[in-house]
A and B are shown apart, each in its own frame.
Chain A
């Protein structure tokens, strides 16, 4: 017997085992813990990950992304493309066909009108829809017939799969939400807490910020699923106690986002009750370098604006030296264990967009960094700190308050110290740092510091919008109320041109080429963004819970219909 037949046999028996248990509700209850408790079950009123994921048990989009970042037709029969005629030749419309006989959990049919309504709901003025950005650029959504819906775009859209996709874009029931448009959205507590959906579960009781009890949707499209009759989603506490309740006490089956120090997790795994599951999406922890002068001696409306280039960091040699001094593999290991990989890319995945050749930053080179600084004219002065023209090479390095980030800060400070760069560390509470109060001096877009560290990712599996955040016009300034994500104040006309090109290119191979080029311009070529760690999502699952397929491109609970109890 060869390996291949062995594996085939194993797969077959696995499939058989699943078939043998395939009866809806035969496996009793599944218990899930989210240490951040869900507040609302309508993802259009909260973009918080916890709320989006809890909603994904009930509400479903037209297309989902699988753990590899590929599109999966979810409520539709197939992914529309130019080839199959689903996408119009002029790329200005896309047509979805709903799966036949789709039903809401209350037994009424799902129609194209519901999809149209969902669009109206999120774009109604005064509603403050959290997902408004995925419905941008749409001229009209129309129901062609009961099961066909067409989206018309204002401009040609080469990648039209943003609306109604992933955990951000589920379909709402028109009948239920009809009176909740616009300013009335927040008054619909009953609807927001008990949405009627097409997903494998339906809400029995929702207690905001505490617990959700759900039961199997009797009208779910696969009569054999879900295997669990009941689900409890408890919220509250912290990541450590959530992990403990799965790995050590066995009270829960699945704990979301148990991002803990690797040695703490190893200790908990000795409990023998569960395992860690992880997946990688597009989240990258990075250093951003400020190309403008944020010195407090400047007037407030000029501080940190392009009017004053940074006196030290505009020299690419200094930026390069800062990058070379960092041992990314060590940082990934110390901070994230299995759920972190060193990276030099801002777009680390999906494979079509990631530049595999951009690996130069992975090896630490302290001596090389020193030589570069010498070359740039920074010589070692008093106390080992480099100086040039009487000016010290001293930087302010800020990030949000978080144990791993503070560890990273002090390790990086140590390395920079070795090459003669003096570093002052600062950490700001996350609610301020990631807040957008234009009056606060401490937000990450205002960036009144020299270097800052945070993590970001993109929705769906296409980086177009993410890379477009780095064009010149997205530089935060007093004119934009300090909003915008081009926090490093990077501005190269060639990059802006590429961003426009990417927005007009439909061919996947070409898109990959452009995206990789843009990624390299930001990282390897200009050293304005220094990616550090490609971060995965880490959750804990009980050994008795089968079918878990953690996903970083969509809701972690995307395939909860396939979960079952190992016998």
Chain B
């Protein structure tokens, strides 16, 4: 297993390098201009000088290798600097966002907490809701519970979050005025009042995302449970005289969890990617909102860095899912 993991990690390096090049080339080929948002009153020659100040007059390959150097060398050094108070970076140029003229990594670090709180919590809640629903739906297949569960998850899965989000805002913020429609990212939780405030502002976005996540995962759970419930070992377990509780929650559930855990693990990178639409609707201003605003402004270093971080996470969690699979299922061995 250890060798397998090492081998996979080594393979990941060229994979990621190729991904980074592809991202870079795609962004470069895509039409768009970082100066397009500037008003037309700014003359073309001024825009040209601004582009030069951003380094856009450099050849493609130079820009690519500069980015590689900044991402793999200068930014990690900077992390060490801030952890231990050293000064390894010195005057070296970090990856600078074109929109804000400030280091990309600092903005990402500033945004990550919001995203992890809202999107991460929604994922956890989604999983917590999905598992029992999936189990009961499978155990009582075609019961009213299963029917309702199927109906709700179909709605959660097929209605887009930009719709549910706005509906919830109109219902709970505009009509009932229970929850705010705009998330306050500067809120500091240090007492009971602010904690309640934080919970109130998280309710709506978490609800929207949790519904979406839960409907997806509960379907997997249900399908996997149904597969296992029909297996011979279940009949054997029952014949041995084991209680239904033990049969379902110990024997069937454990085996059914194997594919579901893979699905859950593969979904984790999407937490870091943020929820572009939901963040935009509720103004959570996390990573998703950062990505979309950077795309709109053609802020290439920001988009490049974010998408590459997502790529790293996806590669990483694929590996984790594979390793978990081997640990959970004794039939699978990689060595």
The distance from the CB of B188 to the nearest CB of chain A, in whole angstroms, is 11
- Chain B residues, CB < 8 A from A128: 49-54
B47: interface (CB < 8 Å): yes
B213: interface (CB < 8 Å): no
A266 to B35, CA, bound (A): 35
Would you give the 0/1 interface string for A477-493, flagging 1 where the beta carbon is closer than 8 Å to chain B? 00001011100000000
A186: interface (CB < 8 Å): yes
Q: Flag if A211 contacts B49 (CB, 8 Å).
A: no
Q: Flag if B185 contacts A252 (CB, 8 Å).
A: no
B37 (CB) vs chain A CBs: closest residue: A48
The distance from the CB of A434 to the nearest CB of chain B, in whole angstroms, is 5
A211 to B93, CA, bound (A): 26
A133 to B48, CA, bound (A): 12
Task: Tell whether A245 pairs with B182 under 8 Å between CB atoms, given A209-B100, A436-B47, A437-B31.
Answer: yes
- Chain B residues, CB < 8 A from A235: 285
B181: interface (CB < 8 Å): yes
Q: Flag if A252 contacts B107 (CB, 8 Å).
A: no
Task: Tell whether A483 pairs with B45 under 8 Å between CB atoms, given A213-B186, A435-B32.
Answer: yes
The distance from the CB of B34 to the nearest CB of chain A, in whole angstroms, is 8
Q: Can you name 9 A-B pairs with beta carbons within 8 Å?
A: A33-B182, A48-B37, A128-B52, A185-B53, A209-B290, A430-B36, A466-B41, A481-B44, A485-B40
Report which of A39, A132, A232 forms a contact with B49, defined as CB distance below 8 A: A132
- Chain A residues, CB < 8 A from B256: none
Report which of A129, A210, A271, A445 forms a contact with B185, defined as CB distance below 8 A: A210
The distance from the CB of B89 to the nearest CB of chain A, in whole angstroms, is 12
Number of interface residues of A (CB under 8 A): 68
Q: Flag if A432 contacts B182 (CB, 8 Å).
A: no
Q: Flag if A248 contacts B290 (CB, 8 Å).
A: no
Q: Flag if B46 contacts A129 (CB, 8 Å).
A: yes
Q: Flag if A238 contacts B42 (CB, 8 Å).
A: no
- Chain A residues, CB < 8 A from B45: 483
A71: interface (CB < 8 Å): no
Q: Flag if B181 contacts A241 (CB, 8 Å).
A: yes
B298: interface (CB < 8 Å): yes
The B-contacting residues of A in range 350-386, CB under 8 angstroms, are none
The distance from the CB of B225 to the nearest CB of chain A, in whole angstroms, is 40
Known: A39-B99, A128-B49, A481-B44. 18 other contacts (CB 8 A): A37-B293, A39-B97, A45-B101, A129-B49, A130-B46, A185-B53, A186-B101, A187-B93, A192-B100, A193-B100, A208-B100, A209-B100, A209-B289, A237-B182, A237-B281, A244-B174, A434-B33, A435-B298
Task: Tell whether A236 pairs with B285 under 8 Å between CB atoms, given A48-B37, A436-B47.
Answer: yes
- Chain A residues, CB < 8 A from B44: 436, 445, 481, 483-484
Q: Flag if B37 contacts A431 (CB, 8 Å).
A: yes
A37 to B100, CA, bound (A): 11
Q: Flag if B281 contacts A40 (CB, 8 Å).
A: no
The distance from the CB of B235 to the nearest CB of chain A, in whole angstroms, is 56
- Chain A residues, CB < 8 A from B37: 48, 431, 434
The distance from the CB of B278 to the nearest CB of chain A, in whole angstroms, is 12
Q: Flag if B40 contacts A434 (CB, 8 Å).
A: yes
- Chain B residues, CB < 8 A from A261: none
Would you give the 0/1 interface string for B7-38, flagging 1 where the beta carbon is closer than 8 Å to chain A? 00000000000000000000000011101111
Q: Flag if A209 contacts B185 (CB, 8 Å).
A: no
The B-contacting residues of A in range 224-267, CB under 8 angstroms, are 232, 234-238, 241, 244-245, 248-249, 251-252
Q: Flag if B39 contacts A49 (CB, 8 Å).
A: yes
- Chain B residues, CB < 8 A from A435: 31-33, 35-36, 298
A183 to B32, CA, bound (A): 24
- Chain A residues, CB < 8 A from B52: 126, 128
Q: Flag if A193 contacts B102 (CB, 8 Å).
A: yes
A445 to B102, CA, bound (A): 31
Which A residues have a C-beta under 8 Å from some C-beta of B? 33, 37, 39-40, 42, 45-49, 126-133, 183, 185-187, 189, 192-193, 205, 207-211, 213, 232, 234-238, 241, 244-245, 248-249, 251-252, 271, 429-437, 440, 442, 445, 454, 456-459, 466, 481, 483-485
The A-contacting residues of B in range 146-190, CB under 8 angstroms, are 169, 173-174, 177, 180-182, 184-186
A38 (CB) vs chain B CBs: closest residue: B100
B280: interface (CB < 8 Å): yes
- Chain A residues, CB < 8 A from B110: 207-208, 210
B296: interface (CB < 8 Å): yes
- Chain B residues, CB < 8 A from A458: 41
B197: interface (CB < 8 Å): no
Q: Flag if A209 contacts B35 (CB, 8 Å).
A: no
Main secondary structure of the interface of A (DSSP, over half): loop
A324 to B99, CA, bound (A): 43
Task: Tell whether A431 pairs with B182 under 8 Å between CB atoms, given A40-B100, A185-B101.
Answer: no
A210 to B110, CA, bound (A): 10
Report which of B181, B185, B293 forms a contact with A211, defined as CB distance below 8 A: B185
B33 (CB) vs chain A CBs: closest residue: A435
A208 (CB) vs chain B CBs: closest residue: B100
Q: Flag if A189 contacts B31 (CB, 8 Å).
A: no
- Chain A residues, CB < 8 A from B326: none
Q: Flag if B32 contacts A234 (CB, 8 Å).
A: no
Q: Flag if A249 contacts B174 (CB, 8 Å).
A: yes
B96: interface (CB < 8 Å): yes
B103: interface (CB < 8 Å): yes
A454 to B40, CA, bound (A): 10
Q: Flag if B182 contacts A252 (CB, 8 Å).
A: yes
A210 to B144, CA, bound (A): 45
B251: interface (CB < 8 Å): no
B330: interface (CB < 8 Å): no
A460 to B53, CA, bound (A): 26
User: Chain A CB within 10 Å — which of B54, B96, B102, B173 has the most?
Assistant: B102
- Chain B residues, CB < 8 A from A432: 31-33, 36
Q: Flag if A251 contacts B101 (CB, 8 Å).
A: no
- Chain B residues, CB < 8 A from A183: 53
Report which of B53, B186, B289, B298 forms a contact with A186, defined as CB distance below 8 A: B53
User: Chain B CB within 10 Å — which of A46, A130, A209 has the most?
Assistant: A209
Q: Flag if A248 contacts B298 (CB, 8 Å).
A: no
The distance from the CB of A318 to the nearest CB of chain B, in whole angstroms, is 27
Task: Tell whether A234 pairs with B54 under 8 Å between CB atoms, given A207-B110, A207-B185.
Answer: no
Report which of A248, A431, A445 forms a contact with B36, defined as CB distance below 8 A: A431
Report which of A47, A49, A237, A445 forms a contact with B283, defined as CB distance below 8 A: A237
The distance from the CB of A270 to the nearest CB of chain B, in whole angstroms, is 11
- Chain B residues, CB < 8 A from A48: 37-39
Q: Flag if B43 contacts A133 (CB, 8 Å).
A: yes
A98 to B35, CA, bound (A): 34
- Chain B residues, CB < 8 A from A442: 31
The distance from the CB of A383 to the nearest CB of chain B, in whole angstroms, is 34
The distance from the CB of B243 to the nearest CB of chain A, in whole angstroms, is 53
Q: Flag if B298 contacts A431 (CB, 8 Å).
A: yes
A183 to B50, CA, bound (A): 11
The distance from the CB of B115 to the nearest CB of chain A, in whole angstroms, is 12
B282 (CB) vs chain A CBs: closest residue: A237
- Chain B residues, CB < 8 A from A186: 53, 96, 101
The distance from the CB of A242 to the nearest CB of chain B, in whole angstroms, is 9
Q: Flag if B42 contacts A37 (CB, 8 Å).
A: no
- Chain A residues, CB < 8 A from B180: 249, 251
- Chain A residues, CB < 8 A from B182: 33, 234, 237, 241, 245, 251-252
A208 to B110, CA, bound (A): 9
Would you give the 0/1 interface string for B185-219, flagging 1 where the beta carbon is closer than 8 Å to chain A? 11000000000000000000000000000000000
A209 to B280, CA, bound (A): 12
Q: Flag if A234 contacts B101 (CB, 8 Å).
A: no
The distance from the CB of B300 to the nearest CB of chain A, in whole angstroms, is 12
A432 to B186, CA, bound (A): 34
Q: Flag if B281 contacts A241 (CB, 8 Å).
A: yes
- Chain A residues, CB < 8 A from B185: 207, 210-211
The distance from the CB of A489 to the nearest CB of chain B, in whole angstroms, is 16
- Chain A residues, CB < 8 A from B54: 128
- Chain B residues, CB < 8 A from A49: 39
Q: Flag if A241 contacts B31 (CB, 8 Å).
A: no
B31 (CB) vs chain A CBs: closest residue: A432
